[in-house]
């Protein structure tokens, strides 16, 4: 279960979140939990989750280790701050920051080189779904975002299926629609990395996941977990989602 906080919360608010959240989930050994706070809050999040099973990730990275790239944060820096994971190719990065498939690929490789586990986000826009282009978009984004990975690197990588029309809109994909997309992605993974590796691939669903729709989604065997935005900002709400999973 992953939480994408986007551009919400200060370091103080991060600490306050975990003060409450840790006690709500600590009695269960599963599922794995990863929280993606804003980069500035990573040290506070790492500190607040020390000794718990929650891991911390970055929401984005730049592909160079260091250099004259004003405003950017590298995978190496995220790792040094205590992050273990990083989101790559989130649709908001593609939409508002003009990230291309080629950028996503460089970021996936940079994340792995830095010792971070990438979650590569893929998903179609509403007009692409209406034009029956969902399959084409998912195949292209999957191939472009994970090209050239070794088997070992692929085993460290997860994928999030996040239909753009479902993000922050309250329009969740039905479990069946999500499951079909996951099956397609797993099929692509099998073609490129083999059936066993594809079986092991963790595919998260993201898009308006809430405490009242998580159970239906998690009943689908194709859905391994969720990437939760808005509903992860409140500790009670995210803990309910974690427990339902």
Q: Which residues bind ligand PEP (CB under 6 A)?
A: 4, 6, 162, 167-168, 206-209, 227-231
Comparison of 46 and 231: residue with beta carbon closer to ligand PEP = 231
Comparison of 103 and 162: residue with beta carbon closer to ligand PEP = 162
Comparison of 177 and 197: residue with beta carbon closer to ligand PEP = 177
Minimum distance from CB of 123 to ligand PEP (Å)?
9
d(CA 129, CA 138): 11
Comparison of 78 and 173: residue with beta carbon closer to ligand PEP = 173
The active-site residue out of 124, 162, 188, 222 is 162
Contact indicator for 241, 223 with CB cutoff of 8 Å? no
In three-state secondary structure terms, 62 is strand
Residue with tokens 């990230």: 99
Strands 225-228 and 203-206: parallel
The active-site residue out of 90, 99, 124, 188 is 90
Minimum distance from CB of 34 to ligand PEP (Å)?
12
Of 65, 63, 6, 72, whose CA–CA distance to 38 is shortest? 6
H/E stretch holding 196 reads helix 195-200
Comparison of 193 and 239: residue with beta carbon closer to ligand PEP = 239
d(CA 217, CA 225): 9
Q: Angle CA(96)–CA(101)–CA(105) in degrees, nearest 5?
A: 115
d(CA 131, CA 134): 8
Minimum distance from CB of 69 to ligand PEP (Å)?
24
Q: What is the DSSP letter of 186?
A: H
Contact indicator for 210, 240 with CB cutoff of 8 Å? no
Minimum distance from CB of 120 to ligand PEP (Å)?
13
CB-closest chain residue to ligand PEP: 229
Q: Reply yes or no on whether 162 is catalytic.
A: yes
Calculate helix-pair angle for 134-146, 101-113, nearest 10 degrees.
40
Q: Reply yes or no on whether 90 is catalytic.
A: yes
Minimum distance from CB of 236 to ligand PEP (Å)?
16
Comparison of 45 and 167: residue with beta carbon closer to ligand PEP = 167
Contact indicator for 88, 118 with CB cutoff of 8 Å? yes
- Tell how many helices (H) and how many strands (E) occur in the chain: 12, 8
Minimum distance from CB of 67 to ligand PEP (Å)?
29
Catalytic residues: 90, 162
């Amino acid at each position: 279960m992953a939480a994408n906080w986007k551009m919400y919360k200060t370091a103080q608010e991060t600490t306050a979140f975990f003060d409450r959240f840790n006690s709500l989930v600590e009695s269960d050994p599963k599922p794995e939990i990863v929280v993606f706070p804003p980069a500035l809050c990573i040290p506070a999040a790492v500190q607040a989750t020390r000794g718990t099973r929650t891991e911390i990730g970055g929401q984005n990275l730049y592909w160079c280790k260091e250099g004259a790239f004003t405003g950017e944060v590298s995978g190496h820096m995220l790792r040094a701050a205590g992050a273990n994971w990083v989101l790559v190719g989130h649709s908001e990065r593609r939409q508002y920051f003009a990230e291309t498939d080629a950028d996503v690929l460089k970021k996936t490789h940079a994340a792995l080189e830095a010792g971070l586990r990438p979650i590569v986000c893929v998903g179609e826009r509403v007009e692409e779904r209406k034009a029956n282009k969902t399959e084409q978009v998912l195949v292209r984004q999957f191939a472009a975002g994970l090209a050239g990975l070794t088997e070992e690197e692929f085993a460290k990588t997860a994928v999030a299926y996040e239909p753009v029309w479902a993000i922050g809109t309250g329009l969740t994909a039905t479990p069946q629609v999500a499951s079909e997309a996951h099956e397609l992605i797993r099929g692509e993974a099998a073609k490129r990395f083999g059936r066993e590796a594809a079986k092991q691939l963790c595919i998260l669903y993201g898009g308006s996941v809430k405490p009242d729709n998580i159970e239906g989604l998690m009943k689908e065997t194709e859905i391994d977990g969720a990437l939760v935005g808005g509903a992860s900002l409140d500790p009670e709400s995210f803990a309910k989602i974690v427990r339902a999973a």
